Amino acid sequence: MKVRVLSARTIAGLLDFGEAIDYVERGYVALFEGRVQTPPIQHLENPDVHGEIDVKSAVMRGSTPYVTVKAACGFYDNPARGLPTGSAMVLLLDGSTGFPLALMDGWLLTSWRTGAAAGVATNLLARADARILGLVGCGEIAAMAARAVARVRPLERVAVWAPPADLDLCRRFAATTGADLGIEVVIAASVADAVHQADVVVTATPSREALVMLDMVRPGTHITAIGADGPGKQELDARLTAGSRLFVDMVSQCRVAGELQHPLREGLMTEADVHAEIGAVLAGAATGRESADEITVFDSTGTAAQDIGLAALAFERALKMDAGSEVDLA
Dihedral angle of Cα 312, 315, 319, 320, to the nearest 10 degrees: 60
Cβ–Cβ < 8 Å for 260, 301: no
Q: Is 70 a catalytic residue?
A: yes
Pick the catalytic residue from 2, 70, 233, 320. 70
Helix/strand/coil for 72: strand
Question: In sequence order, which residues have a C-beta less than 8 Å from that of residue 84 and are 6 or more positions away?
Answer: 78, 107
One-letter amino acid at 142 equals: A
**DSSP per-residue string spanning 115-179:** HHHHHHHHHHHS-TT--EEEEE--SHHHHHHHHHHHHHS---EEEEE--GGGHHHHHHHHHHHHH
Question: In sequence order, which residues have a C-beta less than 8 Å from that of residue 210 and are 6 or more positions away?
Answer: 234, 235, 236, 237, 238, 240, 262
- The distance between the two most distant Cα atoms of the chain, rounded to a whole number of Å, is 61
CA 102 to centroid of chain Cα atoms: 23
Cβ–Cβ < 8 Å for 104, 89: yes
Q: How far is CA 141 from CA 102, 176, 204, 278, in A?
A: 24, 14, 7, 20
- The CA distance from 145 to 120, in Å, is 10
Residues acting as catalytic residues: 70
